[in-house]
């Protein structure tokens, strides 16, 4: 049975480690990623059969080669953490990632546009990436903690109008910790065809389960391996998390 596949006949069992692993995207985001760190990350993604390996764009091509035939997807991101690249630059980066074989892209939009009431510019920033990515799903990082309620609603509406397939509560724990209430809020405003990804400060098995039960389709975290070890009773009580912000 493929843990990444959804069972449409019955609700998913979020007490099953394989089911949970198949909903987790293991994240490696740093400006100092070494080949040794990358190889360990890929090895762990394969070992636990995570939904995807989330890696910097410069590693996408090698990751595609390493994960071919494993069932683990290759995901990357654009303009994290600031979202201040030119919209043209974001679209071009999306095109390069697609050529390199990426299967999913998490996008940081220009939140400053939204905060300024520049909705057309915000929409175009997202739409350009969606168009450049063609059939590759785009997940928009909404940065909900930085927005008022009205701005949250507009960010969701504009993202969906621009063609994103996923709504993501935030980019990292530095912005805000993902909560079940975030998922409930997003699920209430999003149509059924739009999926949800939880992200930000997710460090424990309990957090993952509560987010999935609240409606998250995917959970992104740099602590994925540690979480699975906890789930399986093999947590390293002396170890820490390599990048707790994500």
Q: How far is CA 108 from the centre of its chain?
A: 11
Query: How is residue 13 annotated by DSSP?
Result: -
Q: Are 33 and 56 in contact (CB under 8 A)?
A: yes
The reported pLDDT for the residue numbered 236 is: 52
Q: Is 192 exposed, middle or buried (0-12, 13-18, 19+ CB in 10 A)?
A: exposed
Quick one: average pLDDT of 205-212?
Answer: 96
Distance CA 42, CA 224 (A): 12
The reported pLDDT for the residue numbered 173 is: 87
Of the pLDDT bands very low, low, confident and very high (cuts 50, 70, 90), residue 9 is low
Tokens of residue 206, six digits: 């309990």
In the predicted structure, residue 206 carries a pLDDT above the cut 50: yes
> Given 90, 125, 139, 168, which residue is catalytic?
168
In the predicted structure, residue 240 carries a pLDDT above the cut 90: no
> Given 106, 125, 182, 217, which residue is catalytic?
106
3-state secondary structure of 71: coil
* Among 152, 149, 150, CA closest to 160: 152
pTM to 2 decimal places: 0.91
The answer to whether 106 is a known catalytic residue is yes
65-89 burial string, b = 16+ CB within 10 Å, else e? ebbeeeebbbbbbbbbbebebebee
* Among 244, 174, 195, CA closest to 51: 195
Lowest mean pLDDT among 6-10, 42-46, 116-120, 151-155: 6-10
Instruction: Give the DSSP per-residue string, 187-246.
Output: HHHS-TTSEEEEESS--SHHHHHHHHHTT-SEEEETTHHHHHHHHTT---TT---S-TT-
The answer to whether 6 is a known catalytic residue is no
The answer to whether 90 is a known catalytic residue is no
> Given 139, 195, 197, 203, which residue is catalytic?
197
Structural domains in the chain, sorted by start: 20-231 (3.20.20.70)
């Amino acid at each position: 049975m493929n843990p990444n596949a959804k069972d449409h006949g019955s609700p998913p069992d979020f007490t099953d480690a394989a089911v949970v692993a198949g909903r987790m995207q293991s994240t490696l985001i740093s400006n100092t990623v070494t080949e040794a760190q990358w190889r360990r990350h890929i090895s762990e993604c394969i070992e636990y059969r995570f939904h995807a390996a989330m890696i910097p764009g410069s590693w996408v091509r090698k990751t595609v080669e390493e994960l071919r035939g494993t069932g683990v997807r290759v995901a990357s991101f654009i303009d994290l953490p600031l979202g201040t690249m030119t919209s043209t630059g974001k679209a071009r980066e999306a095109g390069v990632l697609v050529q390199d074989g990426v299967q999913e892209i998490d996008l940081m939009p220009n939140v400053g546009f939204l905060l300024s009431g520049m909705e057309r510019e915000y929409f175009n920033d997202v739409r350009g990436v969606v168009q450049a990515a063609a059939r590759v799903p785009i997940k928009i990082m909404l940065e909900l903690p930085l927005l008022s309620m009205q701005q949250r609603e507009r960010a969701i509406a504009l993202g969906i109008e621009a063609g994103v397939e996923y709504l993501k509560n935030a980019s990292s724990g530095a912005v805000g910790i993902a909560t079940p209430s975030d998922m409930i809020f997003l699920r209430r405003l999003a149509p059924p065809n739009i999926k949800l990804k939880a992200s930000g400060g997710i460090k424990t098995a309990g957090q993952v389960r509560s987010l999935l039960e609240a409606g998250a389709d995917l959970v992104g975290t740099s602590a994925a391996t540690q979480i699975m070890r906890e789930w399986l009773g093999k947590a390293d009580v002396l170890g820490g998390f390599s990048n707790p912000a994500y």
